[in-house]
Structure 1
Amino acid sequence: MTDPFDSRKARAAAWFHTLRDRIVAAFEDLEDRFSDGQPGRFQVTPTTRADGGGGLMSVMRGGKVFEKVGVNWSEVHGVLGEKAQRAMAARGVPGMAEDPRFWASGISLVAHMVNPHAPAVHMNTRMFWTPGAAWFGGGSDLNPAIEYAEDTAHFHAEMQRACDAHGADYYPRFKAWADEYFFVPHRGRARGVGGIFYDDLNTGDWEADFAFTQAVGEAFLPAFVPLTERRLGTAWTEADKDVQLIHRGLYAEYNLVYDRGTKFGLETGHDANAVLMSLPPVAKWT
Structure 2
Amino acid sequence: MTLDNIFVDTQGDIKKSVYVIFVLILFYITNHIFSFILKKTSSINIETKRRYVVNTNISLTIIFVFITLYIYSTELKNLAFSLAALMVAIVLITKEVSLNIMGGIYKTFSGGFIIGDTIEIEGKRGSVIDRDLFTTTLLEVGPNKTSHNYTGRSVIIPNSTFLTNRVTNESFLKSFVLHTFKVILSPDCDWEKAEKILLERSEFYCSEYFEQAQVVLNKLFTKSHLETPILKPRVQINFTSKDEIELNVRITAPARTKGSVEQKILKDFLREFYK
TM-score, normalised on structure 1? 0.30
Q: Which has the higher contact order (CA 8 A, sep 6+)?
A: 1
More helix by share: 2
More strand by share: 1
TM-score, normalised on structure 2? 0.31
